[in-house]
Structure 1
């Protein structure tokens, strides 16, 4: 599989008008820098119509276009990574009914012109750590999220529940996690799972951590099993296929929670991504609840509101908004604007203290990225309490016991997530 060029933007002609509208919106409202944060990798996903077999396009790809094809069926007992795909131009995700194609512009044009064969194309997104919120080294309310979610007084600890955090990796030698059940895997080409960014270690600390070196509690599901999937590089960005591969790995390993504090920006009127939705539904079918950050593009103080980002806007994914310690909406937290792009729940996301790669050890930052692992940890506590429940029953219970607040559902969903 040809590696994505994260600085390259290629678009189908039919998407030009939509792209221009999005760029105008982002530039006007958020001064979005498309040069430093491009939207797409230059590769495309082929989305098959329902019940269409891959054989319908296999001949086109192999014979007419001369593309080398690989299949997810070749990876039944191991994770899918681009390094294992050698020189393949196409990867069939057989369970999902999608394929990733990395051909040149002429080959993509051929696909576009023959899309009446029961498929359509979507550009592969570049995914980012969504947090550009000012941070400090420490804060007086370092553990307020643990107390306000009631995780510190819960009878449950997420014991042996598998939580996958898909992010920038993990400092698996951090002293707070010695002796924990930890599985790691990197889906980023040419990078080990070690977290040289920090964001992933912070999120894992909130979802799965316990206490710091002085005994201060900062983690929710302190006895959970940790699955750290590196799907974003050390600069905090990655290709959409890396996230899809990470979700597939987590679901196939029996993770009951998949937490993703990452995303791509969405403009008003844009729908959810069918690739993420197919992957999310596949994870649900295997017993996992998927949760993701709603995004940080809003500027509420200036009366600017942005829609829930991707993949959090998918129906199969729980979108998490951020609140501060006074139960006020975070200035940056996105809201339900687009169809299907609901906010499902809210949690602590401002001035959140958690683990950070050594030698710093700890850091306090803000974002819907910080609210998301709080919810992921709480989901693990619910799975411990109700081990025979379905993902849909766990989601229903999460929403039922949430703290109701006098805030719009379009901003906080069912309320503030609390532990059972």
Structure 2
């Protein structure tokens, strides 16, 4: 299977129009909107209609196109990675009713004509949230006081927490002695965080104290699962997110945190692949928390919808508030019917 492409061209309707999207509103809004970042990897996700058997997809791919098809069952004891599927043309996520495929336009059309039991959509590119300006003279630990973590008896002891991001600085002194499990889903990149965002997020969620013994983390006694799903440049493929969530759930994580996403347009529905994996996680006792996104400029009446995957009904979407408990100027808003903010938390 070819690796995902992260080209420099922006979205344009001639070359990257979604195939068989969930609604006409999705197609219209995406075609009329231009973004400065590419939206799709060049691969596709087949999403089975509820109740359909994965064998239907496998039969079509093998008989109609001669594809070599891998299955998530082939990875029972190891994580699914690009290296593991490089000799396949497709990967079926059996528990999710989804398949990742590498196909040309004519092959995609042949699949569409074979059956109406599924929809086909482009695989999304996922990015870190937009850069935001910090507020000067504000203690970085004000969130601990606001959430009353400092005086809480709960430390997350023994709870497995997965943070899916740009990885972790494994040599960082703040994590010395901590129980850490790490996996990279980014081809040709180790889990080592050369960007910094992942280490920052893991510190916020699971950190304890810095070298000056100043407390800054929340679940200070938790077991850390660091999944690298974004490259050192801060971008990744949607399937890497699916692979990492599956990995975290299979390893017994109770919380999965993601400060990442893809742009969502007004009128666009949630992504069925993300919703399926979120339902799978919930069925195993794991909750997924995701950033609502940083694409708004509220002071200028610019409001962006909750991003993907946070806009899924089964994922907890988190907005940001400042030290005065006002919604952060950059924080996205509940605009689309299915993209609702679940909670707001310190984020400035």
Structure-2-length-normalised TM-score: 0.94
Gaps of 5+ in 2: 10-14
The reply on whether 1:166 has 2:164 as its aligned counterpart is yes
Offset at 1:21? Answer: 2.7
Aligned length: 340
The reply on whether 1:186 has 2:188 as its aligned counterpart is no
Gaps of 5+ in 1: 351-420
Aligned residue for 1:179, secondary structure, equals coil
Offset at 1:13? Answer: 5.6
Aligned residue for 1:233, secondary structure, equals coil
Aligned residue for 1:195, secondary structure, equals coil
- Give the Cα–Cα distance (whole angstroms) in 1 for the partners of residues 114 and 31 of structure 2: 28
Matches for 1:281-296 after TM superposition, within 5 Å: 281-296=279-294
- Give the Cα–Cα distance (whole angstroms) in 2 for the partners of residues 75 and 249 of structure 1: 10
8 Å CA contact retained: 1:165, 1:258: yes
Match of 2:127 in 1: 128
1:249 equivalent among 233, 243, 247: 247
The reply on whether 1:67 has 2:73 as its aligned counterpart is no
Matches for 1:310-329 after TM superposition, within 5 Å: 310-329=308-327
Offset at 1:87? Answer: 1.6
8 Å CA contact retained: 1:10, 1:41: no
- Give the Cα–Cα distance (whole angstroms) in 1 for the partners of residues 245 and 326 of structure 2: 32
Q: Which structure shows the higher helix fraction?
A: 1
- Give the Cα–Cα distance (whole angstroms) in 2 for the partners of residues 172 and 216 of structure 1: 20
Match of 2:223 in 1: 225
Aligned residue for 2:143, secondary structure, equals helix
Matches for 1:17-166 after TM superposition, within 5 Å: 18-19=26-27, 21-22=29-30, 24-25=32-33, 27=34, 32-33=35-36, 37-116=37-116, 118-135=117-134, 139-166=137-164
Residues 19-46 of structure 1: per-residue CA shift (max 9 Å, x gap): 5533644x5xxxx31xxx1011111111
Q: 1:113 to 1:208 in 2, by over 3 A?
A: same
Q: 1:329 to 1:60 in 2, by over 3 A?
A: same
Offset at 1:103? Answer: 1.2
Aligned residue for 2:170, secondary structure, equals coil
Match of 1:385 in 2: none
Aligned residue for 2:240, secondary structure, equals helix
2:17 equivalent among 2, 11, 21: 11
Match of 1:198 in 2: 196
Structure-1-length-normalised TM-score: 0.78
Offset at 1:211? Answer: 1.0
- Give the Cα–Cα distance (whole angstroms) in 1 for the partners of residues 97 and 81 of structure 2: 18
Offset at 1:14? Answer: 5.1
8 Å CA contact retained: 2:20, 2:120: no
- Give the Cα–Cα distance (whole angstroms) in 1 for the partners of residues 110 and 120 of structure 2: 11
Aligned residue for 2:281, secondary structure, equals helix
- Give the Cα–Cα distance (whole angstroms) in 2 for the partners of residues 311 and 43 of structure 1: 18
8 Å CA contact retained: 2:127, 2:236: yes
- Give the Cα–Cα distance (whole angstroms) in 2 for the partners of residues 149 and 17 of structure 1: 39
- Give the Cα–Cα distance (whole angstroms) in 2 for the partners of residues 199 and 250 of structure 1: 19
- Give the Cα–Cα distance (whole angstroms) in 2 for the partners of residues 209 and 12 of structure 1: 40
